Amino acid sequence: MARHGRMSVTLARIGVWIWGVGAVVVAASIGGYRLETLPLRPAFIGYVASVAIMALATLFLLVGMIGGRGRMGSWAFNGVCWIALVLCVGMTLNNLLWLRQGQVSPPIHDISTDTVNPPEFVDILPLRAGAPNPPEYAGSEAAEQQLKAYPEIVPLELDVTPAEAMALAESAARAMEWELITVASGEGRLEAVATTAWFGFKDDVVVRIVESGDGSLVDVRSKSRLGLSDVGTNARRIRRFMAQMQPSG
Protein backbone atom coordinates (compact mmCIF):
# COMPACT_ATOMS: atom_id res chain seq x y z
CA MET A 1 0.00 0.00 0.00
CA ALA A 2 2.84 2.36 0.92
CA ARG A 3 4.60 1.51 -2.32
CA HIS A 4 1.41 2.21 -4.25
CA GLY A 5 1.11 5.56 -2.50
CA ARG A 6 4.70 6.48 -3.36
CA MET A 7 4.08 5.56 -6.99
CA SER A 8 1.00 7.80 -7.07
CA VAL A 9 2.99 10.70 -5.65
CA THR A 10 5.72 10.12 -8.23
CA LEU A 11 3.20 10.12 -11.08
CA ALA A 12 1.62 13.30 -9.76
CA ARG A 13 5.02 14.97 -9.47
CA ILE A 14 5.82 14.00 -13.05
CA GLY A 15 2.44 15.40 -14.09
CA VAL A 16 3.19 18.73 -12.40
CA TRP A 17 6.61 18.84 -14.06
CA ILE A 18 5.11 18.10 -17.49
CA TRP A 19 2.47 20.78 -16.88
CA GLY A 20 5.25 23.28 -16.14
CA VAL A 21 6.99 22.40 -19.39
CA GLY A 22 3.72 22.80 -21.30
CA ALA A 23 3.07 26.18 -19.71
CA VAL A 24 6.53 27.40 -20.74
CA VAL A 25 6.08 26.11 -24.30
CA VAL A 26 2.67 27.75 -24.79
CA ALA A 27 3.87 31.02 -23.28
CA ALA A 28 6.98 31.03 -25.48
CA SER A 29 4.99 30.17 -28.61
CA ILE A 30 2.25 32.77 -28.19
CA GLY A 31 4.46 35.39 -26.60
CA GLY A 32 7.18 34.94 -29.21
CA TYR A 33 4.75 35.44 -32.07
CA ARG A 34 3.01 38.43 -30.51
CA LEU A 35 6.38 40.07 -29.82
CA GLU A 36 7.40 39.33 -33.43
CA THR A 37 10.43 37.32 -32.34
CA LEU A 38 9.05 34.00 -33.60
CA PRO A 39 7.54 33.30 -37.06
CA LEU A 40 4.02 31.93 -37.23
CA ARG A 41 4.88 28.38 -38.32
CA PRO A 42 7.24 27.50 -35.43
CA ALA A 43 4.96 29.38 -33.04
CA PHE A 44 1.96 27.32 -34.14
CA ILE A 45 3.97 24.08 -34.01
CA GLY A 46 5.00 24.98 -30.47
CA TYR A 47 1.40 25.67 -29.52
CA VAL A 48 0.23 22.32 -30.92
CA ALA A 49 3.07 20.62 -29.05
CA SER A 50 1.98 22.33 -25.83
CA VAL A 51 -1.52 20.94 -26.29
CA ALA A 52 -0.11 17.41 -26.48
CA ILE A 53 2.11 18.11 -23.47
CA MET A 54 -0.86 19.36 -21.44
CA ALA A 55 -2.89 16.29 -22.38
CA LEU A 56 -0.02 14.07 -21.19
CA ALA A 57 0.23 16.05 -17.96
CA THR A 58 -3.50 15.57 -17.42
CA LEU A 59 -3.08 11.81 -17.74
CA PHE A 60 -0.24 11.65 -15.21
CA LEU A 61 -2.04 13.94 -12.76
CA LEU A 62 -5.30 11.99 -12.97
CA VAL A 63 -3.61 8.63 -12.46
CA GLY A 64 -1.47 9.95 -9.62
CA MET A 65 -4.26 11.80 -7.82
CA ILE A 66 -6.77 8.99 -8.18
CA GLY A 67 -4.20 6.48 -6.97
CA GLY A 68 -3.25 8.71 -4.05
CA ARG A 69 -6.90 9.63 -3.42
CA GLY A 70 -5.99 13.32 -3.43
CA ARG A 71 -3.58 12.99 -0.47
CA MET A 72 -0.05 13.32 -1.78
CA GLY A 73 2.30 14.68 0.81
CA SER A 74 1.92 18.27 1.94
CA TRP A 75 -1.19 20.39 1.51
CA ALA A 76 0.88 22.73 -0.65
CA PHE A 77 1.80 19.98 -3.10
CA ASN A 78 -1.75 18.69 -3.08
CA GLY A 79 -2.95 22.20 -3.96
CA VAL A 80 -0.40 22.52 -6.76
CA CYS A 81 -1.62 19.22 -8.20
CA TRP A 82 -5.23 20.40 -8.20
CA ILE A 83 -4.34 23.74 -9.79
CA ALA A 84 -2.26 22.01 -12.47
CA LEU A 85 -5.03 19.50 -13.14
CA VAL A 86 -7.72 22.17 -13.50
CA LEU A 87 -5.55 24.22 -15.86
CA CYS A 88 -4.58 21.17 -17.92
CA VAL A 89 -8.17 19.96 -18.25
CA GLY A 90 -9.35 23.47 -19.10
CA MET A 91 -6.77 23.94 -21.83
CA THR A 92 -7.34 20.45 -23.22
CA LEU A 93 -11.12 20.93 -23.41
CA ASN A 94 -10.70 24.40 -24.93
CA ASN A 95 -8.49 23.01 -27.67
CA LEU A 96 -10.78 20.07 -28.32
CA LEU A 97 -13.62 22.56 -28.83
CA TRP A 98 -11.37 24.61 -31.11
CA LEU A 99 -10.49 21.53 -33.16
CA ARG A 100 -14.16 20.61 -33.36
CA GLN A 101 -14.99 24.14 -34.52
CA GLY A 102 -12.31 23.83 -37.17
CA GLN A 103 -13.89 20.61 -38.44
CA VAL A 104 -17.37 22.09 -38.82
CA SER A 105 -16.29 25.52 -40.11
CA PRO A 106 -15.83 26.04 -43.87
CA PRO A 107 -12.32 26.89 -45.14
CA ILE A 108 -13.09 30.59 -45.60
CA HIS A 109 -11.84 33.76 -43.93
CA ASP A 110 -13.91 36.57 -45.52
CA ILE A 111 -17.42 36.97 -44.08
CA SER A 112 -19.94 39.59 -45.16
CA THR A 113 -23.60 40.28 -44.49
CA ASP A 114 -23.84 41.23 -48.18
CA THR A 115 -22.19 38.61 -50.37
CA VAL A 116 -23.39 40.20 -53.62
CA ASN A 117 -22.10 43.72 -53.02
CA PRO A 118 -19.85 43.41 -49.95
CA PRO A 119 -18.53 46.53 -48.20
CA GLU A 120 -15.07 47.47 -49.45
CA PHE A 121 -11.98 48.37 -47.47
CA VAL A 122 -10.60 51.85 -48.11
CA ASP A 123 -8.42 53.30 -45.37
CA ILE A 124 -7.41 49.85 -44.12
CA LEU A 125 -5.81 48.93 -47.45
CA PRO A 126 -2.32 50.23 -46.50
CA LEU A 127 -2.46 48.17 -43.31
CA ARG A 128 -3.07 45.01 -45.34
CA ALA A 129 -0.03 45.57 -47.55
CA GLY A 130 1.91 42.33 -47.71
CA ALA A 131 -0.83 40.31 -46.00
CA PRO A 132 -1.21 36.77 -47.41
CA ASN A 133 -4.95 37.28 -47.94
CA PRO A 134 -5.74 40.04 -50.48
CA PRO A 135 -8.27 42.77 -49.57
CA GLU A 136 -10.60 41.90 -52.45
CA TYR A 137 -13.71 39.87 -51.63
CA ALA A 138 -13.12 36.13 -51.74
CA GLY A 139 -15.78 35.54 -54.42
CA SER A 140 -18.84 33.45 -55.19
CA GLU A 141 -17.44 30.13 -53.98
CA ALA A 142 -16.71 31.59 -50.54
CA ALA A 143 -20.13 33.25 -50.57
CA GLU A 144 -21.84 29.91 -51.19
CA GLN A 145 -19.94 28.28 -48.34
CA GLN A 146 -20.79 31.17 -46.03
CA LEU A 147 -24.51 31.10 -46.83
CA LYS A 148 -24.57 27.38 -46.11
CA ALA A 149 -22.58 27.57 -42.86
CA TYR A 150 -23.81 30.92 -41.50
CA PRO A 151 -27.29 31.65 -42.89
CA GLU A 152 -27.92 34.02 -39.96
CA ILE A 153 -25.24 36.47 -41.15
CA VAL A 154 -27.52 39.01 -42.84
CA PRO A 155 -27.84 42.82 -42.96
CA LEU A 156 -29.21 44.57 -39.90
CA GLU A 157 -32.21 46.88 -40.25
CA LEU A 158 -32.54 49.66 -37.67
CA ASP A 159 -35.32 52.18 -37.11
CA VAL A 160 -32.84 55.03 -36.66
CA THR A 161 -31.17 57.52 -38.97
CA PRO A 162 -27.85 56.63 -40.62
CA ALA A 163 -26.07 59.12 -38.32
CA GLU A 164 -27.60 57.47 -35.25
CA ALA A 165 -26.74 54.03 -36.64
CA MET A 166 -23.13 55.14 -37.12
CA ALA A 167 -23.01 56.29 -33.50
CA LEU A 168 -24.27 52.86 -32.45
CA ALA A 169 -21.67 51.19 -34.68
CA GLU A 170 -18.84 53.24 -33.20
CA SER A 171 -20.03 52.48 -29.68
CA ALA A 172 -20.23 48.76 -30.46
CA ALA A 173 -16.75 48.76 -32.01
CA ARG A 174 -15.29 50.45 -28.93
CA ALA A 175 -17.11 48.01 -26.64
CA MET A 176 -15.49 45.15 -28.57
CA GLU A 177 -12.10 46.87 -28.20
CA TRP A 178 -11.47 47.24 -31.90
CA GLU A 179 -8.87 49.69 -33.14
CA LEU A 180 -10.86 52.31 -35.02
CA ILE A 181 -9.22 53.36 -38.28
CA THR A 182 -12.00 55.42 -39.85
CA VAL A 183 -15.39 56.68 -38.72
CA ALA A 184 -16.76 58.45 -41.79
CA SER A 185 -20.33 59.23 -40.82
CA GLY A 186 -20.95 61.26 -43.98
CA GLU A 187 -19.92 58.29 -46.13
CA GLY A 188 -21.64 55.74 -43.94
CA ARG A 189 -18.41 53.81 -43.43
CA LEU A 190 -16.52 52.59 -40.38
CA GLU A 191 -13.26 50.66 -40.60
CA ALA A 192 -11.49 48.95 -37.72
CA VAL A 193 -8.94 46.29 -36.81
CA ALA A 194 -9.84 43.45 -34.45
CA THR A 195 -7.13 41.49 -32.65
CA THR A 196 -7.68 37.86 -31.67
CA ALA A 197 -7.13 36.86 -28.06
CA TRP A 198 -4.39 34.23 -28.20
CA PHE A 199 -1.97 34.82 -31.05
CA GLY A 200 -3.03 38.41 -31.66
CA PHE A 201 -3.96 37.88 -35.31
CA LYS A 202 -5.16 41.05 -37.04
CA ASP A 203 -8.55 40.87 -38.75
CA ASP A 204 -10.06 43.82 -40.59
CA VAL A 205 -13.65 45.01 -40.34
CA VAL A 206 -15.63 47.44 -42.48
CA VAL A 207 -19.16 48.60 -41.65
CA ARG A 208 -21.41 50.16 -44.28
CA ILE A 209 -24.54 52.11 -43.31
CA VAL A 210 -27.09 53.38 -45.84
CA GLU A 211 -30.53 54.91 -45.57
CA SER A 212 -33.34 52.40 -45.96
CA GLY A 213 -36.90 53.67 -45.91
CA ASP A 214 -37.43 55.42 -42.58
CA GLY A 215 -34.39 53.76 -41.03
CA SER A 216 -30.95 52.39 -41.84
CA LEU A 217 -29.44 49.24 -43.29
CA VAL A 218 -26.18 48.03 -41.77
CA ASP A 219 -23.76 45.68 -43.53
CA VAL A 220 -20.59 44.31 -41.97
CA ARG A 221 -17.62 42.53 -43.45
CA SER A 222 -14.82 40.92 -41.45
CA LYS A 223 -11.74 39.43 -43.10
CA SER A 224 -8.61 37.75 -41.75
CA ARG A 225 -5.22 38.89 -43.00
CA LEU A 226 -3.78 35.38 -42.99
CA GLY A 227 -4.95 31.79 -42.88
CA LEU A 228 -7.24 29.74 -45.10
CA SER A 229 -9.89 29.09 -42.44
CA ASP A 230 -10.83 31.49 -39.65
CA VAL A 231 -12.45 28.65 -37.65
CA GLY A 232 -15.65 30.70 -37.46
CA THR A 233 -14.00 33.74 -35.86
CA ASN A 234 -15.25 36.34 -38.35
CA ALA A 235 -18.83 35.07 -38.24
CA ARG A 236 -18.84 35.12 -34.44
CA ARG A 237 -17.41 38.65 -34.51
CA ILE A 238 -20.16 39.90 -36.83
CA ARG A 239 -22.89 38.25 -34.75
CA ARG A 240 -21.58 39.87 -31.58
CA PHE A 241 -21.21 43.25 -33.28
CA MET A 242 -24.79 43.13 -34.56
CA ALA A 243 -26.02 42.28 -31.08
CA GLN A 244 -24.01 45.18 -29.63
CA MET A 245 -25.50 47.56 -32.18
CA GLN A 246 -29.08 46.95 -31.12
CA PRO A 247 -30.32 50.21 -29.53
CA SER A 248 -31.19 49.81 -25.86
CA GLY A 249 -34.79 50.25 -24.80
What number is the average pLDDT over the span 18-26?
Answer: 91
**Is a pLDDT exceeding 80 seen at residue 248?**
no
**Is a pLDDT exceeding 70 seen at residue 71?**
no
What number is the average pLDDT over the span 17-44?
Answer: 89
What number is the average pLDDT over the span 104-118?
Answer: 94
Could you read off the pLDDT of 161-172 as tens digits, one per residue? 999 999 999 999
pLDDT of residue 67: 72
Could you read off the pLDDT of 32-49 as tens digits, one per residue? 988 888 888 898 888 889
Could you read off the pLDDT of 78-97 as tens digits, one per residue? 788 888 888 888 888 877 77
Q: Where residue 232 falls among pLDDT bands split at 50, 70, 90?
A: very high
pLDDT of residue 69: 64
Looking at residue 128, its amino acid is R
pLDDT of residue 1: 42
Could you read off the pLDDT of 198-227 as tens digits, one per residue? 888 999 999 999 999 999 999 999 999 998
pLDDT of residue 41: 86
